[in-house]
Amino acid sequence: MTEETPGFDQEPEVPADAEAAQTPEDAARAADTADQAGAAAPAGDASHTAALTAQLDQVRTALGERTADLQRLQAEYQNYRRRVERDRITVKEVATANLLSELLPVVDDIGRAREHGELVGGFKSVAESVENILAKLGLTQFGKEGEPFDPTIHEALMHSYAPDVTETTCVSILQPGYRIGERTIRPARVAVAEPQPGAQPAQGSEGAEGDAQGKQPDEESGGPGEG
């Protein structure tokens, strides 16, 4: 039979007030800790706000840089498109001019046949079709008698002097010129005439003759008066 030792089966009784009891020093330390925590909270919020503001400024700076890059790329692309379009038009004009340059002898033959009255029948129909096609491609003829000589669009093959011209003038069109838009593919071959060296302008000679005729009646009327 086992003997039980008194006091080992019972837990010591601790007063409930002892657990919650604090010394004045402990209460003061707890109050200081609470005050420090309360003061640290606004400081932490301010630092967090400053960090967010700095990040926002960085994002805005990066956005401005990317926007500037996008605008620059867009401008470069627009310039590239305009350059490609301009080159495409130039290549087309050059190709068309080269083709029409090879056809100009045929156009000259059609013109000579028309002048001699040989453009009749089926040949006339074919010639008119060719001329219509060339006109649709932009081929235009230039060069007329009596127009001033322009070395940029005229080629002088013959030269002479004439008393009835006041400047170098195209007096005969030996071969018409052709252009496409502003591009001249063949200058007009012409005969030119210049004013006669030492000749008076036509208007000046007429004025001199008028003065002479005006003086004759005065001289004739002055003779009897003197007598």
Q: Residue 148 falls within a domain, yes or no?
A: yes
Confidence at residue 49, expressed as pLDDT on a 0 to 100 scale: 87
Residue 164 belongs to a domain = yes
178 located within any domain: yes
How many domains does one find in the chain?
Answer: 1
Inter-residue contact 145 to 175 (CB < 8 Å): no
168 by Cβ neighbours in 10 Å (0-12 / 13-18 / 19+) ranks as middle
CATH number at residue 172: 2.30.22.10
User: What pLDDT digit, counting tens, does each position of 52-70 carry?
Assistant: 888 888 999 999 999 999 9
Listed as ranges, residues in the chain with pLDDT below 70 are 1-44, 199-227
Residue-level pLDDT at 102: 92
Residue 219: what pLDDT? 43
- pLDDT of res. 13: 56
Residue type (1 letter), 64: G
Q: Is 162 inside any structural domain?
A: yes
In a domain, 168, yes or no: yes
Structural domain span for residue 192: 140-200
Q: How many Å apart are CA 138 and CA 133, to the nearest integer?
A: 9
What are phi and psi for residue 152, nearest 5 degrees?
-80, -20
193-216 tens-digit pLDDT: 999 887 655 554 444 444 545 444
Distance between CA atoms of residues 149 and 170, nearest Å = 6
- Count of beta carbons in the 10 Å neighbourhood of residue 18: 7
Q: What pLDDT does residue 158 have?
A: 93
Tell me if 184 is assigned to some domain: yes
Q: Measuring CA to CA, how many Å separate 73 from each of 67, 70, 76, 83, 154?
A: 10, 5, 5, 15, 47
The answer to whether residue 48 sits within a structural domain is no
Is 101 among the domain residues?
no
pTM, entire model: 0.54
